[in-house]
Structure 1
């Protein structure tokens, strides 16, 4: 039995979009894998670690992971439950037109000199709308292609993405903090809790996280919780129960945070996705 299931949602000359779910049975590094064309991968559920040589990336909903064409990589799953991602590929010409030149290994090849970019809430919402629309079958090809290109443009935009900063060692410490948060997304963590598990002081953790990720730790955690909500809102769920599961004190607290990030309430998002 394969460890993952890849479901094609859109296959046109402009773009291909796959919904990929992995059971996460491989706790240690997997055998080498590769893709024939460069993919941008948007994780919307769970977490895994993407390995390219010595470099490691914690793949979760605040990041777009880049799989370069013909570049060997491995994956591992630190927690049970696996992950689910939206994996997108497009033609070399389109990708070169959308990508900033200094993100590329060479100006005439659709391969990147980095393995991930942090994405903003608008990018997460675009990915969720694309996935829900294609899965529920109410989005035609032209609309889906247009939204896919907008998603790629946003993910690669210099004003809307953020490349990691800091040394390899500092990135490793920040990744440990990410994994601590991912281990229990609904828990009301304190800085002392996280810092103790990472092995640094709370002051150093907050300073380091902002330097490497480009946003405060509390904002990162909120964005992770709201991204999980984008996934769950594709189902008919009790919104108050969802809010409490994600660590919010009430539905109104959740709804206010969601609206500030995405410009609409959770209920409005569900209606746009034709869930309600």
Structure 2
């Protein structure tokens, strides 16, 4: 049985959107593969690692990963649970319009220089809104196309996204910390516990994480938990239970954190994806 479940949500020629769920059975590196077009992959649940040569990238809900056309890669799942991603293919001419030139490699084939780019909470909300709307068949085609292009524009924006700027060694250290967080997303981690798992001091970890991701580790973890809430809002009727399951101390704490990140409460966002 295949470990992948792929659902085509939309294909207009301008944009193709798929929901890709992987069971994560391949714990070590998979065989090499490549894509026939450039894919923009937004993980919204779980985590995986993409390997391109010696360069590794952790894919989780704070990151957009670029799967360049004809670029060989491997996938591994060091954390149990698999992953789920929203996979976008934008018509090449439109993607060239959307992508800042400095993010692309020189040459005729459209390819991004970096494997990944950190997205902001508003982009996370757009991922959830696009996926929920298409999977529930409540979005008009024109609206969904516009949402998809808005998501891409925001995820590539110099002011609305971030590319890690540190040595490969420091990026690997930060990636190890991300995998620790992903191993138990609802756990109320202490800094000392994460640092011990990574093998560095708490002070060093906070400094390096801030340098690589440009936000504090605790805020990065909070965004991961809130992104999981975006994923689960379509399934929960009891939002207090959802907040507690994600490690928040109370419903008010969960609601306030969600509203600060996404501009609306969990209940308001839930109504928007159910009644569009």
Q: Does the aligned pair in 1 maintain the 2:28–2:77 contact within 8 Å?
A: yes
Cross-structure match for 2:76: 76
Cross-structure match for 1:173: 173
Point out where structure 1 has 5 or more consecutive residues left out of the alignment: none
Map 1:57-206; keep pairs closer than 5 Å: 57-106=57-106, 108-206=108-206
Matches of 2:228 and 2:269, distance apart in 1? 14
> How high is the TM-score relative to the length of structure 1?
0.98
Cross-structure match for 1:233: 233
Cross-structure match for 2:22: 22
Point out where structure 2 has 5 or more consecutive residues left out of the alignment: none
Matches of 1:129 and 1:21, distance apart in 2? 18
Matches of 2:237 and 2:19, distance apart in 1? 21
Matched position secondary structure for 2:252: helix
Cα deviation code 1:101-153 (max 9, x no counterpart)? 01001265321010000000000000100000000011011000000000000
Matches of 2:232 and 2:73, distance apart in 1? 29
Matched position secondary structure for 1:45: strand
Q: Does the aligned pair in 1 maintain the 2:38–2:67 contact within 8 Å?
A: yes
Give the RMSD, CA atoms, in angstroms: 1.1
Matched position secondary structure for 2:139: coil
| 1:236, distance to aligned residue in structure 2 (A) | 3.2
Q: Does the aligned pair in 1 maintain the 2:236–2:242 contact within 8 Å?
A: no
Matches of 1:161 and 1:199, distance apart in 2? 29
> How high is the TM-score relative to the length of structure 2?
0.98
Distance 1:275 1:235, change over 3 A: farther
Matched position secondary structure for 2:271: helix
Cα deviation code 1:89-112 (max 9, x no counterpart)? 011101110001010012653210
| 1:32, distance to aligned residue in structure 2 (A) | 1.1
| 1:20, distance to aligned residue in structure 2 (A) | 0.1
Aligned length in residues: 276
Could you list the runs of 4 or more consecutive aligned residues of structure 1 that deviate by over 2 angstroms after TM superposition? Answer: none
Q: Does the aligned pair in 2 maintain the 1:39–1:66 contact within 8 Å?
A: yes
Distance 1:110 1:237, change over 3 A: farther
